[in-house]
Structure 1
Amino acid sequence: MISEKTNRILLWFNLILILIITSAVITFLVMKRSGEKQTNDPGVINSMDMLRKELSLTDEQYRTVLLENDRTIRKYNIVFDMMCETNVAMLEELAKEVSDPAVLDSLSRKVGTLSVSLRRHTTDYFMNLKSICNEDQQKELTEILKRMMQIDELCKSCNKRECPRKERINNIGK
């Protein structure tokens, strides 16, 4: 026979487990409902839907773009995680009483390499998008890229009065 003390402990343990499970289920249901509200909110702009509309993508093109987007986001997350780890290591090294210049140099090079990797993933992504698009869509994609890169803003802050790049920028995609 189980002693009364053990029986009470098991009873309280079961009650605590029931409370935890109930709160988890309620949290899950509340989060699911709030997620549905966000996706149905007309004020929320999904960048992939916006891209679909601006480029007039077909259903097949859109599915391909979504797959490419998912693949690229996974790569970005890996690189961002590595960048975060490297930045933390650099901060730890800088916080030491005596920092090792060789370690800092190595970490700086790693940050540069990761930054290049991120840029390459971005260019690969847009090259793959371009290959999915027809000629008119490619021109529109170029205009979208120009807006995303805020090239016009760079020209406003440039210290050159008559910059030859401005004409080159205006001719891109034409």
Structure 2
Amino acid sequence: MEEPKRVKPYAKPQGERRGLLLVYTGDGKGKSTAAFGLALRAHGRGLRVRIFQFLKHQGARFGEHRALEALGIPIEGLGDGFTWKSRDLEASKALALEGWKRAKEALLSGAWDLVVLDEATYPLRYGWISLEEFLDTLRSRPRHVHVVVTGRGAPEPLLALADTVTEMRKVKHAFDLGVPAQVGVEH
């Protein structure tokens, strides 16, 4: 057992308020879920939110798509699904590059307060999107724009640039016990 804290464990930060870069990475579940939770929090506070998913296909209708669309939060699939299901990796690369153009435009426009780049580490790791261009775009965005980047194996230069990095670590997973994905809970 632990006693509840009775004294605030930190001093209030005095730094400037500005757009933050958050990275959710690691081999555990919850990276996208955390990003969507942050998107809901931001939307609830009146921030303009846009979400891009680099692996999900354009017509994807997963639970997050249905819920976010119902709330008026734009979410756009930019890919063609998991790479191991792809029939043509060159076509997958072309989709990632075209999607990156749209995401980059949104980041630099200043029209959005929070831009989520879900699954963006994958096209970076595959060399489909230039890491240097990606980082330059993040550095060049308007000062008020918050960005969340998710995906396994986030490159070190991205981690170095980020304001906040959370690494999701699997402790235990039902899939390893032979339990299939559950609709509405995980996929």
Greater relative contact order (Cα < 8 A, sep 6+): 2
Q: Whose radius of gyration is greater, 1 or 2?
A: 1
Same fold (TM over 0.5): no
Structure number with the higher helix fraction is 1
Structure number with the higher strand fraction is 2
